[in-house]
Chain A
């Protein structure tokens, strides 16, 4: 088993920092390449939405001053990075005295909670089904049914969410249409509240599970087929080991490792998919915050929420990368 060396840790950590820096820089630079400045564009959109905005040039000038857009670009850039490092995203424009940090702090636990539940279910279910698909001992019927279920894999979570919402919440009325818990309830640790949260969270979680389990199943199937061809499989069978023991100890444990790497790579897509699902279900997580911020043209909130999500994803990838060699003894922390 490899030990976590300082060199490996530093290398991974610097990749993490570069990722964050690059994302932050792209967010900052690309809009500035476009003609016009963001504040004018924002007020322009407000005018388009509301028909007329009083004193729009004074607003523009005020905001330019507030955001320091009259300074030179390098000064602005350094100040922007400084604010990000201090996690200072400023105030929400739509709910003025509230800071972006407060808004994010309220929404983040819901997103993280839902994401963790959905992703855990997906990962285990997908890998289990994928293993069954490639295993010799699986009944024929199961082998035909799994691919049918996998058709959902290709559909974006947002489309699945719309269908689920219509069928189970609108048509059958089994689940609530919106929100993360019953309106008017105060969050507490009572049974009633927890049931309400589960009741509200089922459909959003299901939309994420439904569209992504097949991805894991496919990858797992591919790896299992590769493992199936190895010599040690013949040996295990020749020894007369219990087929279930062979399935678990010899096949799944070897096949699942690349899946963990794939997990780190797809995390960004997962987070994005989840954000869109939250918006469809009006679930009070980051997705909903982003959507209402888009409606209100609340730019600091859009930037803050997106940056936190980018940071979260990069952090998760860093953690996966750091623990990966612990679960796969063949990978060492040293550079090959």
Chain B
């Protein structure tokens, strides 16, 4: 959502009207010189990738059982620091421990992929529904289009977090997957709107008309002619959706409504706030999950900005 602000129709117009490449840049027939390899996209992917790698390979090098309650000493700071009781941190717990005896490093290793998973699941479900609804609305049109537009207009203005708070407060048990699916239930309207308007624009474009005239089936027009051109938009929308989903998940987790059985980054922040980590100056407890999440969001934003440049050549020129 963060950057898909320019209306999609406008973007299509933009790409069509993009100023001709200046003579200086004409000689770029190098295969590495594609818009997909821009700096923002690569930096963002590197940040997100690094966090994921820590989550995936971290468990090979660190005992994740330490993420359980009472598996470690309480309230230890990272090595080199002293906590309010005068205890020094040890290398047995390089990132310290919190007040119910969980090792922070283990919590981060287990928690980061969990928070990420919610985003990926919700965005995938939202995207799939969005592609189906968007294509049906754009291609079939008529009553169906009116209906799809109505429900996506209606759903997009509902403050998701408020609805989810009520629902999750009532559910007896919340699993990671339940939360992901509940968030996904609100993640489809923006891809639907985006794809619908793109399909409407492209349906009238020359190459689609050409394909139609040469007797290509509707199905193959959709998936062979239109879908490939939508890829940068779809990718940007996917990342935007994943960001929104992680945001919602973190919000719920920090309110204490997240999954109860698995550690998450937001859940760690919730315990830190309830345990008055700020007032007890246990910075390692609240700052580590906060920083990791902040990094994750910055990485996702950079990816989104990079994809925007792929989709909108005029932005690319302006940023040089």
Instruction: Assess the A306–B290 pair: CB atoms within 8 A.
Output: no
A226 touches B (CB below 8 Å): yes
Chain A hits for B153, CB < 8 A: 15
* Stretch of A99-107, A153-161, A181-189, A194-202 at the chain-chain interface: A153-161
Instruction: Assess the B10–A226 pair: CB atoms within 8 A.
Output: yes
Instruction: Assess the B5–A19 pair: CB atoms within 8 A.
Output: no
Instruction: Assess the B251–A306 pair: CB atoms within 8 A.
Output: no
Instruction: Assess the A38–B154 pair: CB atoms within 8 A.
Output: no
Instruction: Compute how far the CA of A79 lies from the CA of B76 in the bound complex, rounded to whole angstroms.
Output: 53
With A15-B150, A22-B154, A41-B171 in contact, is A276–B254 under 8 Å at CB?
yes
**Most B C-beta atoms less than 10 A away, residue of A30, A229, A303:** A30
B6's partner among A41, A166, A222, A275 (CB-CB below 8 A) is A222
Nearest-CB residue, chain B, relative to A230: B17
B127 touches A (CB below 8 Å): no
Instruction: Assess the B166–A306 pair: CB atoms within 8 A.
Output: yes
Nearest-CB residue, chain A, relative to B283: A166
Instruction: Assess the B6–A223 pair: CB atoms within 8 A.
Output: yes
Q: Distance in Å from the Cβ of A289 to the closest Cβ of chain B?
A: 12
* Stretch of A58-66, A307-315, A325-333 at the chain-chain interface: A307-315
Instruction: Assess the A272–B159 pair: CB atoms within 8 A.
Output: yes
Instruction: Assess the A306–B165 pair: CB atoms within 8 A.
Output: yes
B318 touches A (CB below 8 Å): yes
Question: Could you tell me which residues of chain A, from 116 to 165, have a CB within 8 Å of some CB in chain B?
Answer: 134, 151, 153-156, 158-159, 162-163, 165
A280's partner among B17, B273, B283, B294 (CB-CB below 8 A) is B273
Instruction: Compute how far the CA of A266 lies from the CA of B7 in the bound complex, rounded to whole angstroms.
Output: 14
Chain A hits for B312, CB < 8 A: 222
Question: Could you tell me which residues of chain A, from 260 to 280, have a CB within 8 Å of some CB in chain B?
Answer: 262, 264-269, 271-272, 275-276, 279-280
A262's partner among B5, B171, B255 (CB-CB below 8 A) is B5
Instruction: Assess the B182–A158 pair: CB atoms within 8 A.
Output: no
Count residues of chain B with CB under 8 A from any CB of chain A: 62
B154's partner among A15, A219, A299 (CB-CB below 8 A) is A15
B161's partner among A155, A163, A218, A275 (CB-CB below 8 A) is A275
With A154-B243, A159-B294 in contact, is A30–B167 under 8 Å at CB?
yes
Main secondary structure of the interface of B (DSSP, over half): helix
Nearest-CB residue, chain A, relative to B19: A229
Instruction: Compute how far the CA of A41 lies from the CA of B167 in the bound complex, rounded to whole angstroms.
Output: 12
Nearest-CB residue, chain B, relative to A163: B290
For A22-46 the 0/1 string (1 means CB < 8 A from B) is 1100110011001110101110110
Q: Distance in Å from the Cβ of B117 to the closest Cβ of chain A?
A: 18
Instruction: Assess the A26–B278 pair: CB atoms within 8 A.
Output: no
**Most A C-beta atoms less than 10 A away, residue of B170, B290, B318:** B170
Instruction: Assess the A215–B2 pair: CB atoms within 8 A.
Output: yes
Q: Distance in Å from the Cβ of B158 to the closest Cβ of chain A?
A: 5
Instruction: Compute how far the CA of A276 lies from the CA of B269 in the bound complex, rounded to whole angstroms.
Output: 12
Q: Distance in Å from the Cβ of B75 to the closest Cβ of chain A?
A: 17
Instruction: Assess the B163–A306 pair: CB atoms within 8 A.
Output: yes
Instruction: Assess the A22–B155 pair: CB atoms within 8 A.
Output: yes
B140 touches A (CB below 8 Å): no
Chain B hits for A271, CB < 8 A: 159, 162
A41's partner among B172, B255, B256 (CB-CB below 8 A) is B172
Instruction: Assess the A155–B298 pair: CB atoms within 8 A.
Output: yes
Instruction: Compute how far the CA of A68 lies from the CA of B1 in the bound complex, rounded to whole angstroms.
Output: 41
Q: Distance in Å from the Cβ of B40 to the closest Cβ of chain A?
A: 10
With A31-B171, A215-B5, A302-B166 in contact, is A276–B158 under 8 Å at CB?
no
B293 touches A (CB below 8 Å): yes
Chain B hits for A94, CB < 8 A: none
With A15-B154, A226-B6 in contact, is A26–B167 under 8 Å at CB?
yes
Chain B hits for A309, CB < 8 A: 159, 162
Instruction: Assess the A264–B273 pair: CB atoms within 8 A.
Output: no
Instruction: Assess the B162–A158 pair: CB atoms within 8 A.
Output: no
A268's partner among B157, B172, B273 (CB-CB below 8 A) is B157
A258 touches B (CB below 8 Å): yes
Chain A hits for B254, CB < 8 A: 158, 276, 279
Instruction: Compute how far the CA of A226 lies from the CA of B312 in the bound complex, rounded to whole angstroms.
Output: 10
With A154-B243, A159-B294 in contact, is A290–B165 under 8 Å at CB?
yes
A306's partner among B162, B301, B314 (CB-CB below 8 A) is B162
Instruction: Assess the A229–B17 pair: CB atoms within 8 A.
Output: yes
Instruction: Compute how far the CA of A40 lies from the CA of B172 in the bound complex, rounded to whole angstroms.
Output: 8
Q: Distance in Å from the Cβ of B83 to the closest Cβ of chain A?
A: 16
Instruction: Compute how far the CA of A186 lies from the CA of B159 in the bound complex, rounded to whole angstroms.
Output: 33
Q: Distance in Å from the Cβ of A72 to the closest Cβ of chain B?
A: 19
Which residues of B pack against A, CB within 8 Å? 1-3, 5-7, 10, 13-14, 17, 19, 150, 153-163, 165-167, 169-172, 182, 243-244, 247-248, 250-251, 254-257, 269, 273, 278-279, 281, 283, 286-287, 290, 293-294, 297-298, 300-301, 305, 308, 312, 314-315, 318
Q: Given A22-B154, A219-B3, A265-B157, 20 more contacts at CB 8 Å?
A: A15-B150, A15-B153, A41-B170, A156-B251, A162-B273, A218-B2, A221-B318, A225-B315, A264-B157, A268-B159, A272-B160, A272-B251, A291-B255, A303-B166, A306-B162, A306-B165, A307-B162, A310-B162, A310-B163, A314-B158
- 19 A-B pairs with CB atoms under 8 Å apart are A18-B150, A40-B172, A41-B170, A44-B172, A154-B243, A158-B269, A162-B278, A162-B290, A163-B290, A219-B5, A219-B6, A225-B315, A262-B5, A267-B157, A269-B160, A269-B244, A271-B159, A272-B159, A302-B166
